[in-house]
Structure 1
């Protein structure tokens, strides 16, 4: 009983099992009910077959000494018919169980993927820049999609084997109580081995999660289309492949070492179990040899001993499997317990349409959690309604960080940002972001149709909306799309069949169209034309004032010729605004902006 108490004590901390079962039920209630019912019925059939076998053997042995076997033969036929029926039913139920299990597994897997996706969308951008988050996500993805179903399976097996075990132990106790004790003792060593190595494997997996991610990253580099050109030009393929092989070799050697130790422990445990069962079986044979048992009883007790041992091993195995499931499910719950720091207020204030006084950064400072360096320090600026401002500065000066704060992807470490005098955190988060159209420098290439790539800028528009084409014409994307084989219905990118790849500049025009489509009060263009040729850039900015109409705009660009049109220019250096004014005022100031402008202008003289 020591090991059983040990198992129960281990399972007392299994706080994740019940929520996991709720996941299974919510993901597939009907198939789950069918699955449980089928497995319960299947658990009763082996007992029926065993008892029918015993009756058939008794009839056969009794008929040897009888001259008239007619009555016994009729009974024999009935029993054989029943055995055949039970066998056919077992086969039918096995086929049904396979179908039900397949359907249920698919539904639960899809449901769990939805939960992981929802959590990924809920948490803040900050998590994506934290290696610990990626480790947590990796472990959650490894366990989330099959562990809940596996827990249900183990609980069902637990109930099924308990029924079988009670009946088998009852039979064996009728012969001798000591056999039941031997039966239990024979199952303990293997279970203890499993418990020990479940903990070892779980600890190893958590320790090596980052190394596994490094291997997956190298595999992505070797197979992804984004890196194919550079890998060939710089001959990086062999280097990355060797690094991948080194990582996989180390992981293989460590898992092989754990597996070898587990195999040795299992051999010792199984050998001890076999010796104990052999002693019990020898006692049953001796009883039959002494004439105290009939042949049918010998077969019955032998089968009961085997099935009882299998049932007890299954019972303890299910308990240890539940302990193992609980260990690994902690990875999923560690991920699901992540909470966003940025959330919408319970009672948000209505967002003004249109804004009246504008957006104000009031002494805003910001520091990323994983670095002591300040990304922004004491920044103050104003964006008035209908005003176009430009942010100028070197890479890493904090320009994009400022936009992330404006979109509430992060919260300021110090200071505040207001819209019409109200702090941004008092507005509904979704409503606020709907009023801001952003094209980041690292804009997304969506491998969908050209029409969808633009429509994603405002998915509230109905299919076929004319404004999609209008936005494409404004950004210059329409001329590109009209040359594609299926026009706006052409799949972009080479990831899927019949896809058409665009140049970087053409992709950028599509991303601009996506921003223009959104009927927002503020347009933010982060290096919006960096991949365009000077002529295309000139055309975009010539009509930019008309494109944004009454909207405010923020331009971030290294090409200072494109920011001359801004109403006010802010020069950012190391997270601080060092100069501000119109193009003319800054040129007269003859400071950093004037120096940068003159340096660039020399390249065109």
Structure 2
């Protein structure tokens, strides 16, 4: 019942006016057919009377009046049906859009780590399936159940006036169907929940086959038919399992409906018997047989809607399970402002970190400082923990042990929004937004107006300006190939756009994770030639495998398997003849 209440609240928040209209129209729609049925009963009774009298004029006039009223009721039924469909469709769209927004807000609220957990991925996937339609379905079930109940109350009164046993037969015949529907809902829900990861795997192959990024390798390595076969095999496995469940459910329902049919036929026999032996008039036969038939329909609808409520209640639990996820990073109740400008700088104190699904420590007892205006370089092999340190600094993850401070204040005491505003980051796997050039850069600092001159300044600093000038509409050129008229860029050109996005941010710290990996040597040299000028009063954290670019750094930290093993200037580390010197000399020999 709690989920039903929460679903109704969500629907009400989505479109309260349309919800009221929908409920009223559904209720009216349940009453009008009964009024029409009663008018038809009166028409039949008058026809039966007319057969027994000579002067039929008055009776015929009365029948015409009843026909006119029947026509009005039919017109109202049709008009109400059209308006009900409009209200239902509109309400469903509003609810879907509202819930998608709620889902998106929750998705950006939870920790980055949740996206790296298979368990949380299953929860998110189920929420995506159920959010768009379950609450509106639940409201439809509820309003239809209320409408069916109203119809049943009126029908019950008529049937009791005939014989109380008819109502008993009608209700008793529905019990097996009701029990079966509820049990089948539970079976289906458990199966869907159990198969979430398998469904995700099938969807993953679909993503590979339809996505533009995997398209090159799929063709070069001839992977298409392999992935199609794997997708089909998974879908076949799911199909066979669901077919087996459906067959069992169908046979059970068939048995229950057979028993119900026998009881209903016996009831019709009783009504016909009473009419033949003169206890009912012809109009009563029409009225009671139609009433019983409509009672069947109303009870069937009621059972269907109650079972639907139960089923939607089960599946809606998946949405609320996702909405109940809590971030591990708890915002301070009274956050402090990040010092601006920093006086002492940033310090990692004995920082350790372990991913949720791994027993291995990704970061081990790291001590590292970044002074105001200082350029720091992180060097190490792939998987050594360099990017993880950046994510900890940006509060995308929370440290397992130790602390990270700015001017001696723990990061946890700052608002994450304020903290991230002070950090401009470009990750190695930066996003290529299928938007205009201006949007791609502006997303680095959405507080600026789109007409700001800082756009061109950031583009010049990153080397993107020359690329932009060559595009058909300059800054208004649509990038990427997803939408009509988009221009695709090379990897190096995209990287310059991403760098401009990082430089646009008015941040005290700029973090560049492999910022020139897709650039040629000339473009890379141009960026780093003016790097110190670009930083000016900013601090910088540079991650790169190209050791020729880190010589300019004030200090270099060498990280190996999550630990800082060396630190110092380029000259100091070369003199040490340790890990850094070995890596540098190895790279240098490759260029000779």
Q: TM-score, normalised by structure 1?
A: 0.97
Instruction: Give the conservation status (yes or no) of the 8 Å contact 1:362–1:380.
Output: yes
> Once the 2 structures are TM-superposed, how far is the Cα of residue 261 of structure 1 from its aligned partner?
1.3
Match of 2:335 among 336, 348, 358: 348
**2:7 maps to 1:55:** no
> Once the 2 structures are TM-superposed, how far is the Cα of residue 37 of structure 1 from its aligned partner?
1.1
**Could you report, residue by residue, the CA deviation over 1:225-256 in whole angstroms, capped at 9, with x for unpaired residues?**
10111001111111111000000101111111
In structure 2, the residue matched to 1:203 is: 190
**2:100 maps to 1:100:** no
Instruction: Give the conservation status (yes or no) of the 8 Å contact 1:343–1:429.
Output: no
Q: TM-score, normalised by structure 2?
A: 0.99
Aligned pairs, number:
592
In structure 2, the residue matched to 1:248 is: 235
In structure 1, the residue matched to 2:219 is: 232
In structure 2, the residue matched to 1:594 is: 581
How many angstroms apart in 2 are the aligned matches of 1:175 and 1:44?
A: 21
In structure 1, the residue matched to 2:516 is: 529
**2:277 maps to 1:267:** no
SS of the residue 1:444 aligns to = coil
- Unmatched 5+ residue regions in structure 2? none
Instruction: Give the conservation status (yes or no) of the 8 Å contact 1:437–1:520.
Output: yes
In structure 2, the residue matched to 1:185 is: 172
Instruction: Give the conservation status (yes or no) of the 8 Å contact 1:184–1:309.
Output: no
In structure 2, the residue matched to 1:8 is: none
In structure 1, the residue matched to 2:272 is: 285
**2:366 maps to 1:379:** yes
Instruction: Give the conservation status (yes or no) of the 8 Å contact 1:124–1:410.
Output: yes
> Once the 2 structures are TM-superposed, how far is the Cα of residue 309 of structure 1 from its aligned partner?
1.7
Moved more, 551-560 or 175-184: 175-184
How many angstroms apart in 2 are the aligned matches of 1:175 and 1:547?
A: 92
**2:435 maps to 1:423:** no
The 5-angstrom pairing of residues 116-135 of structure 1 reads 116-135=103-122
Moved more, 180-189 or 398-407: 180-189
**Could you report, residue by residue, the CA deviation over 1:425-451 in whole angstroms, capped at 9, with x for unpaired residues?**
111110001000000011000000011
In structure 2, the residue matched to 1:455 is: 442
CA RMSD of aligned residues (A): 0.8
> Once the 2 structures are TM-superposed, how far is the Cα of residue 214 of structure 1 from its aligned partner?
0.4
Match of 2:101 among 114, 128, 144: 114
> Once the 2 structures are TM-superposed, how far is the Cα of residue 315 of structure 1 from its aligned partner?
2.1
Instruction: Give the conservation status (yes or no) of the 8 Å contact 1:457–1:514.
Output: yes
How many angstroms apart in 1 are the aligned matches of 2:590 and 2:512?
A: 24
How many angstroms apart in 1 are the aligned matches of 2:21 and 2:292?
A: 31
Instruction: Give the conservation status (yes or no) of the 8 Å contact 2:352–2:364.
Output: yes
Q: Runs in 1 of length 4+ with deviation above 4 angstroms?
A: none
Moved more, 144-153 or 204-213: 144-153
How many angstroms apart in 1 are the aligned matches of 2:509 and 2:139?
A: 51
Instruction: Give the conservation status (yes or no) of the 8 Å contact 2:438–2:450.
Output: no
Instruction: Give the conservation status (yes or no) of the 8 Å contact 1:504–1:531.
Output: yes
In structure 2, the residue matched to 1:10 is: none
> Once the 2 structures are TM-superposed, how far is the Cα of residue 317 of structure 1 from its aligned partner?
2.5
> Once the 2 structures are TM-superposed, how far is the Cα of residue 189 of structure 1 from its aligned partner?
2.0
How many angstroms apart in 2 are the aligned matches of 1:336 and 1:589?
A: 53
How many angstroms apart in 2 are the aligned matches of 1:105 and 1:489?
A: 36
